[in-house]
Amino acid sequence: MEKCSLLLTAPPLVVLLVTALNPGDADPQRLPSNLTASAALKTAEAAAGAHPTAGGRAEEKKEEHLDCPPLGLESLRVDDSQIRASSSQRSGLGPQRGRLNIQSGIQDGDLYDGAWCAQFKDRQQWLEVDAVHPTLFTGVILQGRNSIWSWDWVETYKVQLSNDSVGWQTCMNGTTETIFKGNRDPETPVLGLLPTPTVARFIRINPQSWFSNGSICLRAEVLGCGLQDPADRSEHDPLSKDDLDFRHHSYMEMRKLMKSVREECPNITRIYTIGRSYMGLKLYVMEFSDNPGKHELGEPEFRYVAGMHGNEALGRELLLNLMQFLCKEYLKGNQRVVRLVTETRIHLLPSMNPDGYEAAYEKGSELAGWADGRYNFEGIDLNHNFPDLNNILWDAQEKAADASKVPNHYIPIPEYYTREDATVAPETRAVISWMQDIPFVLGANLHGGELVVTYPFDCTRDWAPQENTPTADDTFFRWLASVYASTHLVLSNPDRRVCHYEDFQSHNNIINGGAWHTVPGSMNDFSYLHTNCLELTVELSCDKFPHASELPAEWENNKESLLVYLEQVHRGIKGVVRDKVSRQGIADAIIKVDGHAHDIRSAADGDFWRLLNPGEYKVVVWAKGYFPSMRRCRVGMEPRPTICDFTLTEIPAQRLKEIHAKGGRVPQDHQLRVRALRLRKLRASTKAINRRREKQQLQPRGGSMKN
């Protein structure tokens, strides 16, 4: 029985999911003398490793099958020059756009549309991928066209294979050509596994039927294991020299890994939780410090947050990698890591939206699509769920006779947001409370699906869809963004390809959030206006949920960036605000930098950190009941902060009486009181909601026990 007879075929494998119609058994074909069937399988298995077919869940050992990773259409590992097509409607719908999960712009008709679309509607159309080297092809993942205006997808297709792109063989089902099931909508990825994994160099997707009111359009990924050439030593080199656990971790596996890091480095780590998801999964944080669990006077607090969108899984794995790396390198005596751990209190939250991640993880990296798992269990986008303090500030400034007198920091949460019926996710509530408990100085929010670093403001004025909306700290934010982008191995590559439709290289791979697209209620803007913490968003990779085989390379792409960005927390000025007589620290003192319309406050012990670019600054410190104090502080080019302490003199009681007697006014800190009151209300409503949810979760169990 002939099946792809021009090709090298491996013996049939047991698979878990086949979307081909009535797949038949396949007979192994003859292999070249230098590559036996067992050798082909052995090299393929080495390439596949323990990675699942769709990059997510690892299967039970008893289910023996071959898990081949994607070639890399989505991740851009496959170059545009490796993709050809029979025809195209136009260049913006050319073969280079036939990549899984590629996104189109708002405008149809440009160079960056959302699929490959054939010019003709017939069964002779095809999309071809050149794997460059002999590859054991195991499957195809198909998706329709991403477009606001058009509905196009392929419903059934054939797969053809070749060694030279001239002679082609169609994959067979017994004596008939195999017809694979395609899509029924534009966005859901559908996996089709070859009845017989087959070795070849070229693969074609040949559409047979398509949506009746649409065109032949598709996005695709190809699954295959590269066959290693024993003479090519480079193929055996590991993608990363760091001995880390490179795979996607479920919630339970993440907990286990964090526990193992804690056990390996008990003196510098601590695991704690900041709350629970809607489904009751704990939001775990790993802390690194030479004195875990305690804020040390003068030592800045730093945070990385990942997994706000559950399907953007790379950030989660990078933070798990970072935990392992910091622990191992500290034990080795790596002086850079030792300095970071001893001089900084580092907090790593790998999964802010664990419910969303579990939904995406269940489907796997290539099958989760663009949005599955993005939102929390309630369907809330957590990056639009924080209080919109931007418009509160801007409205107050517009109404004020003197906008400079309007408080520009520590803006209270609005009253409506504290109610029990407010649409506020439990994950958002947990992070807001976390921000109050720890005096964070710097952070980053790790996302995926693009390659760019964005900085506040994310929300635009007057609800403009796109508008550059800088903060008072715009120059320092741009520095921070440049630090990450310039050290990222892919972002810093001038020859890299555009992910979807926007060329951020024209912006040096950094952009103001509002200039990209407006995001009211973002965590970054809230952090800036409600706390002392400056925070960026890092879009880590074109692929939101890279296959596990991509993780070592992604770690290398981001490792230096993660470390050097963390080190920026030690720039600017820092000091302690003390009472002149008692020498005790003064909490909540206001630190004003002349020329910067954004103030910060001292922490509970009186210490503060003001991130600034090199220069000389006039700094004024004030606290309720004290005379203000001013001094000049110079920030140098060195990557360390300038010490700038302040001592405040308390206003005598007699002096206060005299001021009141003359009708004078003593500055009051009303905003601080309102801020604290609203936070107490938010925490009270959170407790009430949690108690009610726990009762609801227990009721079905109680009922089932009675029955």
Query: Which positions are annotated as active-site residues?
Result: 539
What distance in Å separates the CA atoms of residue 552 and residue 140, rounded to the nearest whole number?
24
H or E, element range at 523: helix 523-530
Q: Determine contact, residues 306/446, Cβ cutoff 8 Å.
A: yes
Residue 515 CA, chain-centre distance (Å), reads 20
| Distance, first Cα to last Cα, the chain | 58
Cis peptide before 386 (omega within 30 of 0): no
Dihedrals φ, ψ of 16, to 5°? Answer: -95, -25
- Which residues, other chains included, contact 554 with Cβ-Cβ below 8 Å and sequence gap of 6+? 314, 317, 318, 540, 541, 546
Partners of 437 in beta bridges = none
Of 425, 430, 435, 431, the C-alpha closest to 278 is 425
* Residue of 355, 11, 353 lying closest to 196 (CA atoms): 11
**Which H, E and C letters describe 215-249, residue by residue?**
CCEEEEEEEEEECCCCCCHHHHCCCCCCCCCCCCC
Residues 562 and 304 sit within 8 Å (Cβ to Cβ): yes
671 vs 388, 515, 594, 667, 675, CA distance in Å? 17, 30, 21, 11, 6
Nearest C-alpha neighbor of 383 from the set 347, 413, 427: 427
What's the Rg (C-alpha) of the chain?
A: 29
Helices 251-264 and 314-332 meet at what angle, rounded to 10? 10
| Helix (H/G/I), strand (E/B), else coil: 139 | strand
Cα dist from 106 to 103, 145, 371, 666, whole Å = 10, 13, 17, 54
Instruction: Quote the CA–CA distance of 456 and 388 in Å, as a whole number.
Output: 13
- Three-state SS for 396-459 is HHHHCCCHHHCCCCCCCCCHHHHCCCCCCCHHHHHHHHHHHHCCEEEEEEEECCEEEEEECCCC
Is the backbone of residue 362 left (phi > 0), alpha (psi -120 to 50) or beta?
Answer: alpha
What is the CA angle 197-200-204, rounded to 5? 90
- Phi/psi for 127 (5° steps) reads -115, 125
Burial of residue 280 (CB within 10 Å: 0-12, 13-18, 19+) is: middle
Q: What is each CA distance from 195 to 14, 31, 50, 468, in whole angstroms?
A: 10, 18, 21, 53
Determine the Cα–Cα distance for residues 438 and 344; give it in Å rounded to an integer.
13
Q: Is 663 exposed, middle or buried (0-12, 13-18, 19+ CB in 10 A)?
A: exposed
Q: What CA–CA distance (Å, rounded) separates 217 from 155?
A: 10
Residue 125 Cα distances to 66, 99, 154, 274, angstroms: 30, 17, 11, 54
Residue 15, phi then psi, degrees to nearest 5 = -120, 160
- The CA distance from 101 to 542, in Å, is 9
Beta bridge partners of residue 177, listed in sequence order? 172
Cβ neighbours of residue 49 closer than 8 Å, sequence gap 6 or more = 67, 548, 549
